[in-house]
């Protein structure tokens, strides 16, 4: 009986180790830029996206939604955050891909669209007014 309990405990412990998507660590993000800067000109049209290095865990993705609103995500893949794989923009700027795992996310929502991705990208608050972009958490 003791052996059965021990084996059951070990089996349950192993099953609880299965990854279901990682949590991106919280780091302070305070990014500011002007929309008139040529580096951010892609944000002047719906569907435009730019990558920003040096902020968040693996950089930022700034995205202009079809309705004119904006979204900001951390580039760190949620498949295995400990690897710090930065997602890359796909052609058309509608999705991003993790080059380490092949997981894919939609920029319109940050939600996963292709396995092994199961957790949404980490999003940040973004405000654009008076030709200024502000991203924070």
Print the domain residue range for 37: 22-136
- Would 113 be classed as within a structural domain? yes
> Mapping DSSP to helix (H, G, I), strand (E, B) and coil, where does residue 14 land?
helix
- Would 127 be classed as within a structural domain? yes
- Would 72 be classed as within a structural domain? yes
CATH number at residue 91: 2.102.10.10
Query: Higher-confidence residue: 3 or 66?
Result: 66
- Would 114 be classed as within a structural domain? yes
Total domains, the chain: 1
Is there a contact between 127 and 134 (Cβ–Cβ < 8 Å)?
Answer: yes
- Which pLDDT tens digit goes with each residue over 40-58? 999 999 999 999 999 999 9
- Would 4 be classed as within a structural domain? no
- Would 16 be classed as within a structural domain? no
Share of the chain above pLDDT 70, in %: 85
pLDDT of 5 strictly over 50? no
Taking the C-alpha atoms of residue 103 and residue 81, their distance in angstroms, rounded to an integer, is 12
- Which pLDDT tens digit goes with each residue over 88-97? 999 999 999 9
Element (H, E) at 124: strand 123-129
- Would 12 be classed as within a structural domain? no
Residue 6 confidence class, pLDDT cut points 50, 70, 90: very low
Contacts 24+ apart (CB under 8 A), 97-100: none
- Which pLDDT tens digit goes with each residue over 108-127? 999 999 999 999 999 999 99
């Amino acid at each position: 009986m003791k052996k059965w309990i021990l084996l059951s405990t070990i089996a349950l412990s192993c099953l609880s180790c299965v990854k279901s998507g990682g949590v991106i660590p919280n780091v302070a993000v305070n990014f500011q830029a002007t929309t008139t800067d040529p580096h951010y000109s892609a944000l002047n049209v719906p569907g435009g996206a730019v990558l920003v290095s040096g902020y968040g865990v693996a950089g930022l993705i700034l995205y202009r939604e079809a309705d004119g609103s904006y979204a900001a995500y951390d580039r760190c893949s949620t498949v295995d955050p400990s690897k710090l794989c930065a997602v890359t923009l796909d052609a058309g700027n509608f999705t991003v891909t993790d080059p380490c795992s092949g997981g894919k996310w939609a920029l319109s929502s940050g939600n996963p669209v292709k396995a092994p991705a199961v957790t949404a990208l980490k999003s940040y608050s973004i405000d654009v007014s008076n030709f200024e972009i502000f991203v924070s958490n």
